[in-house]
Amino acid sequence: MLLGTSRIFGIIADPVASVRTPEVMNRLFQELHLDAAIVPIQVDAAGLPAMVSALRLMKNLGGLVISHPHKAAMAAHCDEVSPRARAIGAVNAVRRQADGRLVADMTDGAGFVRGAEAQGVAIAGRRVLLAGAGGAAASVAAAVVEAGAASLTLTGPDEAGMREIAGRVRRLFPDADIRVGSPDPAGHGLVINAVSPYAWQSGVRAVDTSRMTADMVAADTYSIPEITPFLELAMRRGCKPHYGRFMLDSQIPLIADFIGAIPNHERSGS
């Protein structure tokens, strides 16, 4: 139940119906008996600046989760951005300070790697194909390289965006094998989709799934629907699916901690 004393958090996306964060985080608040709630906020790119300005004035706002397509744009609206998020060029977690200042970080990549490791999906030593050019793609790209991927190939419809990501990740890891390539997954052990289900449903084929084989792991960064169009096509080829919910579930504690959603005594379990 929301009260006048409740701390409010928000998740900004467009469309917002495709995000699972409110379900997961509100369940966490209930389990910890916290007087808090996270609410979905749908706003398009043109409305983002005005929305951010208004949220700065909301004194009972604890922070924000940022989802597609605002992760890169939101970085420019924050007063302080972590070195990791600045290098990646995108944010997904924003804490509102008492004076209205917005402080941001990016946890998608860490969440993906943690989720993969928890499910026994090896990244170290594997050749990785990553489809997408948004903020999540940039964060996951940096994280899998840091986790020891043998190589990283970026693919998808936005070649300029992919080249920008490749340049950012190379600056972080100058010796890494990073390239922009074709959607052909042949020769890759891990294929990651960071292109929205809506794009796939509209006919975008960011990965040539007809070339996928049963020895490949097909991973998605989107959690709704659980079996995304990409995963459905990959599973028809016999690939092992790695669902987007694993990335979200693994980073919820990171996000909640950063935006101050969990008090210190609850975080420590005391």
CATH homologous superfamily, domain 7-107+249-268: Leucine Dehydrogenase, chain A, domain 1 (3.40.50.10860)
Mean pLDDT of 53-82: 96
Q: What is the pLDDT of residue 1?
A: 77
Mean pLDDT of 213-230: 97
Q: Please tell me the distance from the alpha carbon of residue 237 to that of residue 223, in angstroms, as a whole number.
A: 20
Q: Please list the residue range(s) of the chain that carry CATH number 3.40.50.10860.
A: 7-107+249-268
Mean pLDDT of 124-135: 97
- Number of Cβ within 10 Å of residue 28's Cβ equals 18
Contact predicate 111/134, CB 8 Å: no
* pLDDT tier, 174 (very low <50, low <70, confident <90, very high otherwise): very high
Q: What is the pLDDT of residue 263?
A: 77
Q: What is the pLDDT of residue 3?
A: 86
Say which CATH architecture domain 109-247 belongs to: 3-Layer(aba) Sandwich (3.40)
* pLDDT tier, 24 (very low <50, low <70, confident <90, very high otherwise): very high
> Which residue among 20, 71, 77, 242 is the active-site one?
71
pTM, whole model, 2 decimals?
Answer: 0.91
Q: Please list the residue range(s) of the chain that carry CATH number 3.40.50.720.
A: 109-247
Mean residue pLDDT of the chain comes to 95
Residue 59 annotated among the catalytic residues of the structure: no
* pLDDT tier, 266 (very low <50, low <70, confident <90, very high otherwise): low
CA torsion, ordered 124, 254, 73, 38, to nearest 10 deg: 140
Mean pLDDT of 243-255: 95
- What's the token pair of residue 104? 């941001």
